[in-house]
Amino acid sequence: MTKEDEVFKVREILKRRLALSSRLMRKLKDRGGVTVNGAGVKLNSKLKAGGLLAVRFPEEISGFEPEPIPISVIYEDDDLLIIDKQAGFVVHPTKGHPAHTVANGVMHHMLERGEAYRIRFINRLDMDTTGVLLVGKNSYSQHSFARQAARNAGKDSVNAEGDVEGNESAVEKKYLAVVNGAITEEEGAVNLPIGKEDEDRVKRAVLAGGHPATTRYRVLERFSGAYTLLELVIETGRTHQIRVHMAHIGHSVVGDALYGRSSPKLIERQALHAASLSFPHPRTGKTMKAEAPLPEDIERLLQRLRSH
């Protein structure tokens, strides 16, 4: 603690330094996770300069069954695990896919490293979408990204915790997709709400009253007037967002059987890849960029389109 910190209460210091929400602070305090010089402290206390204010997150572990599913690690530290997800695996167990998920593979990876943490997926990718997938190893890293997601969604108000959310965000998600048809403009944006027409179906649609969603796109390459390679940036993270938005404007993702048509002669899945994710590290604040190279099936698709 510094002399300047003496005018602030513990809760104010934690919010200023770590951007912790009121709820998370209370949770940590109740579990003995907020201390000064090793002793418990009240959140409303004021401290003297020279003291060591520490936050310790409780050890947690997920209960997924570990399975030796290949996990391609892009980056890993005490707070984050970033992997390059392969196609054909759902991220998290569901009724339809109770096992053989990315979560089962991460559990195996974690135990192999002798670690113990609760697996928290910061972003989600569809079963047949490849690319950068981010896992938080503690509640602080998850909370940090949740705040950024709220900012991306356009919130700028006092939330349920009494914390002010701004509307700027340093998180940027970039995707690459091959879509049907020739997009004539060099760049554009789709700013349309997404929702469910039928609660019993997985399919989403552009729907009045749905959740706000914005997808920006830029043309990288066109192929014989029949296909287009796009770079896409999503400013929100709705389920199937890119697939819904592109289908809505008449340019469904190649191979997307749910929102367009399957194209088995070209590719066995939707040609959609989470290429990069830029974000401030939750602990250091340093800007990081995780990248995943194009998978072989999309590379083959591009080579085939270029040859025609």
Statement to judge: residues 81 and 44 lie in one domain: no
Q: What are phi and psi of 104, to 5 degrees?
A: -65, -40
**Can you give the pLDDT at residue 104?**
97
Return the closest-CA partner of residue 190 out of 210, 167, 165, 166: 210
Q: Identify any residues that bridge with 276 across adjacent strands, giving them in sequence order.
A: 174, 291
Return the closest-CA partner of residue 125 out of 117, 114, 134: 134
Host domain of residue 13 = 3-55
Establish if 278 belongs to a structural domain.
yes
Statement to judge: residues 177 and 301 lie in one domain: yes
Statement to judge: residues 210 and 300 lie in one domain: yes
Radius of gyration, alpha carbons of the chain: 22
Statement to judge: residues 41 and 88 lie in one domain: no
Q: 13 versus 262: which is more confidently predicted?
A: 262
Domain count across the chain: 3
CA atoms 84, 222, 251, 245: torsion sign: positive
Active site residue 126: yes
Establish if 29 belongs to a structural domain.
yes
Statement to judge: residues 26 and 79 lie in one domain: no
pLDDT confidence of 16, banded at 50, 70, 90?
A: confident
Mean pLDDT taken over the chain: 86
- Cite the DSSP H helix spans in 181-254: 241-248
252 neighbors 259 (Cβ within 8 angstroms): yes
Establish if 160 belongs to a structural domain.
no
Q: Could you tell me the two tokens for 15?
A: 């919010």
Return the closest-CA partner of residue 109 out of 62, 57, 143: 62
Q: Could you tell me the two tokens for 143?
A: 């909370």
Least confident span in 48-52, 208-212, 231-235: 48-52
The average pLDDT across 154-181 equals 60
Query: At residue 161, does pLDDT exceed 50?
Result: no
Which residue has 């000064």 as its token pair? Answer: 36
Question: Tell me, what CATH number does 195's domain have?
Answer: 3.30.2350.10
Q: H/E element holding 229?
A: strand 227-234
**Can you give the pLDDT at residue 149?**
65
Query: At residue 167, does pLDDT exceed 60?
Result: no
Statement to judge: residues 257 and 223 lie in one domain: yes
Statement to judge: residues 24 and 78 lie in one domain: no
Statement to judge: residues 202 and 240 lie in one domain: yes
* Measured distance CA(11)–CA(26) in Å, rounded: 9
Percent of the chain past pLDDT 70, that is, above it, reads 90
Options 5, 79, 84, 126, the catalytic residue: 126
**Can you give the pLDDT at residue 168?**
38
Least confident span in 148-152, 186-190, 256-260, 295-299: 148-152
Query: At residue 136, does pLDDT exceed 80?
Result: yes
**Can you give the pLDDT at residue 46?**
81
Establish if 186 belongs to a structural domain.
yes
Statement to judge: residues 196 and 301 lie in one domain: yes
Return the closest-CA partner of residue 36 out of 55, 11, 58: 55
Establish if 82 belongs to a structural domain.
yes
Query: At residue 24, does pLDDT exceed 80?
Result: no
Statement to judge: residues 206 and 271 lie in one domain: yes
Return the closest-CA partner of residue 111 out of 142, 71, 139: 71
